[in-house]
Amino acid sequence: MAATTETVRRVKVKPNYEMIAWKWMRYSAFALIPLVWIHAILQDVVVGVHAMDLGYVAERWASLFWRVFDALLLGFAFAHGVNGLRQVLNDFIHGEKGRKILNWSLFIFWLAIFLIGAIALIGGVNQQFPLE
Amino acid sequence: MEVRMRIFRFNPEKDRKPHYDVFTVEAQPTDRVLDVLEWIRGDVDGTLAFRRSCAHGVCGSDAMRINGRNYLACKVLLRDLGTTEITVEPLLGLPVIKDLIVDMGPFFEHYKTVMPYLVNDELPADGKERLQSPEQRERFDDTTKCILCAACTTSCPSFWSNGQYVGPAAIVNAHRFIFDSRDQAAVERLEILNDQFGVWRCRTAFNCTEACPREIKITQAIAEVKRAIQTGRVE
């Protein structure tokens, strides 16, 4: 029998919560690179923090693009942070049940804050500018 | 040269808390830390407890923390420590039995969980042996070098904070068989490691790679296992 030189083998590993969370951490980081850079350059360099007033906020809020952009930034950055926090807290939680509670609590925490933020951002204000 | 050895001491039959003893020793720069420990035990204090076996970096018995870093006491020369003040402590993250001796039980329990043996229920085609090309053997060569000294696992901050983590040494030994073309249990091992306390607990601190006395690229091996789980390709 001759030895084969084939070194690649296919395996099928069932995906689980941890594998998805790990992937999420990587992919959300890819999404965060343009989201955070555009946000930081625009707000801090192009506009500048001292030039931000109610007029600027209202102008930005009037554009659907920026509302969706900000909602995405909130969702991805917050999820990335909460998943990191989950990893840190897992250092201190030694029971299976505790970990389950932690996972669900953090997910609900993320979802609630993201939904409130997204509704406020995308829903916008129901008044014409200048505000009365 | 004169070295000041500060050694962690704990005798569970007498001490309520651990303490440090200081020994001043006349030694050569080319002496190893193990030589100094042997001299202290032989000539000064026979109650000092530490493990050693081959004393040549092969058996992995004398892993310990020397000036805050994990080494094999038999592989580190005094001159390489760059100081004459030497603190010797037991490995972190495992229960201390006495002085520098730790209970390796939890470490070997984790090791056993990853099936660290060849699994192949089929008879070889020629009925004699399972052949492998040099390239296939090369694929897992690095991880065959592990001597199970526990220097990596006990240098890992994830393991310190939660001992349920399987640890770098167990993953290295899983890697050794997962990437072996003759083995048939890669899926089982990858499923065992696809867990919060499997490979996903690794945060690439690289402490394991630095601590390994065999210079195994441990963090890379862990990353290869992570990739195999994600992509389903053992390559």
* Residues B66 and B174 occupy one common structural domain: no
Q: Please, what is the end-to-end C-alpha distance for chain A in angstroms?
A: 87
Chain A residue with Cα closest to B235: A8
* Residues B62 and B116 occupy one common structural domain: no
- Across B64-76, average pLDDT: 97
Q: What is the pLDDT of residues A60-99, one digit of tens each?
A: 888 889 999 999 999 999 999 999 999 899 888 888 899 9
Q: Is A1 on the interface with B (CB under 8 A)?
A: yes
**How much is the pLDDT for A6?**
61
* Residues B223 and B109 occupy one common structural domain: yes
User: What are the backbone angles phi and psi of residue B8, rounded to the nearest 5°?
Assistant: -70, 130
Tell me which chain A residues have a C-beta less than 8 angstroms from the C-beta of B164.
94
d(CA B39, CA B42): 5
* Residues B205 and B224 occupy one common structural domain: yes
- Are the CB atoms for B153 and B208 separated by under 8 Å? yes
User: What are the backbone angles phi and psi of residue B89, rounded to the nearest 5°?
Assistant: -135, 160
Q: What is the pLDDT of residues A53-68, one digit of tens each?
A: 888 888 888 888 999 9
ipTM exceeding the 0.85 mark: no
Contact B161 A94 (CB under 8 A): no
d(CA B94, CA B103): 6
Q: Is A100 on the interface with B (CB under 8 A)?
A: no
Tell me which chain B residues have a C-beta less than 8 angstroms from the C-beta of A9.
181, 186, 233-235
- Number of structural domains (chain B) is 2
Q: Which of B102, B136, B160 represents a domain boundary (last residue)?
A: B102
Q: Which domain holds residue A39?
A: 18-123
Alpha-helix runs per DSSP H in B140-211: 157-161, 168-178, 186-193, 207-211
Mutation site, A9, A14, A101, interface B, largest B CB count within 10 A = A9
**Domain containing residue B42: CATH number:** 3.10.20.30
Is position A11 within any domain? no
- Number of structural domains (chain A) is 1
Q: Is A26 on the interface with B (CB under 8 A)?
A: no
Tell me which chain B residues have a C-beta less than 8 angstroms from the C-beta of A5.
133, 135-136
Q: Residue A7 carries which DSSP code? A: -
**How much is the pLDDT for A53?**
87
* Residues B162 and B82 occupy one common structural domain: no
Q: What is the pLDDT of residues B85-141, one digit of tens each?
A: 999 999 999 999 999 999 999 999 999 999 999 999 999 988 899 999 999 999 999
| pTM score | 0.88
* Residues B120 and B65 occupy one common structural domain: no
Contact B226 A6 (CB under 8 A): no
Tell me which chain A residues have a C-beta less than 8 angstroms from the C-beta of B131.
1-3
* Residues B96 and B115 occupy one common structural domain: no
**Domain containing residue B118: CATH number:** 1.10.1060.10
**How much is the pLDDT for A9?**
85
Q: Classify B105 as helix, strand or coil.
A: helix
For chain B, the average pLDDT equals 96
Interface of A with B in 39-58 (CB under 8 A): none
**How much is the pLDDT for A1?**
44
**Domain containing residue A69: CATH number:** 1.20.1300.10
Residue A3 clears pLDDT 80, i.e. is over it: no
Q: Which domain holds residue B161?
A: 105-231
